[in-house]
Chain A
Amino acid sequence: KNEVEQSPQNLTAQEGEFITINCSYSVGISALHWLQQHPGGGIVSLFMLSSGKKKHGRLIATINIQEKHSSLHITASHPRDSAVYICAVRYSNTGNQFYFGTGTSLTVIP
């Protein structure tokens, strides 16, 4: 069964803290996607990666293919970062289909 596990499920942080959200998966993938879902429900793509590391502003995504694990880091967190962060993978044997984790709900307190 294709499974995508995220941890933690919920996370509360003080403004300015460094945040890490984790994603692990069960079998080989061709790509991993990090998304952000705003409190209003809209979903925005953050990163799509298949190896190494990507950075955009205060967000950094890394992936370790051998360990089947990815992390999303937020540096100098801000209340506007409060959202649900979702990991999705495209398995090597599933073509166009993506499988999603249940998300990590992040609240950043001023």
Chain B
Amino acid sequence: NAGVTQTPKFQVLKTGQSMTLQCAQDMNHNSMYWYRQDPGMGLRLIYYSASEGTTDKGEVPNGYNVSRLNKREFSLRLESAAPSQTSVYFCASRPGGRAFNQPQHFGDGTRLSIL
């Protein structure tokens, strides 16, 4: 019963390096989300995908790109990492569509440090 799986769990990058965070869900959910969590701040939405084939910007999209590869997978890419992107990143999914009030399910998070 995997739910939402994120890889990697930890990563250290140097400024300017690129990296892709992977997320996969096995619950046949339509909607998927990428958030970042910083000390003293609530989770902030980076990008989301309401359904396969669509993506939309959230509150803090600058410096990131996403790909909804298929219904299961939603990846987040940092093209040129900056120290300000040091954070804990969470992927989440929810049924979406007509299941309007179903909750989000979260992955365990990726702790990313950029030096």
**Chain A residues in the interface with B (C-beta under 8 A):** 4, 30-31, 33, 35, 41-45, 47-50, 86, 88, 95-103
**Chain B residues in the interface with A (C-beta under 8 A):** 31, 33, 35, 40-45, 48, 50, 56, 58, 88, 90, 92, 96, 100-106, 108-109, 111
CB <8 Å contact, B90 and A96: no
Known: A50-B101, A96-B48. A42 touches B43 (CB 8 A): no
- Residues in B whose Cβ lies below 8 Å from that of A86: 42-43
- Closest partner residue, chain A, to B32 (CB atom): A96
User: Top 9 closest A-B pairs, CB basis?
Assistant: A100-B42, A45-B103, A43-B106, A48-B103, A100-B43, A102-B42, A96-B50, A41-B109, A31-B101
- Residues in A whose Cβ lies below 8 Å from that of B90: 43
Other than the known A30-B100, A100-B43, what 20 A-B pairs have Cβ atoms closer than 8 Å?
A: A33-B104, A35-B106, A41-B88, A43-B92, A43-B106, A45-B103, A45-B106, A47-B103, A48-B102, A49-B101, A50-B101, A86-B43, A96-B31, A96-B56, A96-B96, A98-B45, A100-B35, A100-B44, A101-B42, A103-B42
Bound-state Cα–Cα, A50 to B103, Å: 12
CB <8 Å contact, B45 and A33: no
Contact of A99 among B31, B42, B108 (CB under 8 A): B42
CB <8 Å contact, B108 and A97: no
CB <8 Å contact, A42 and B109: yes
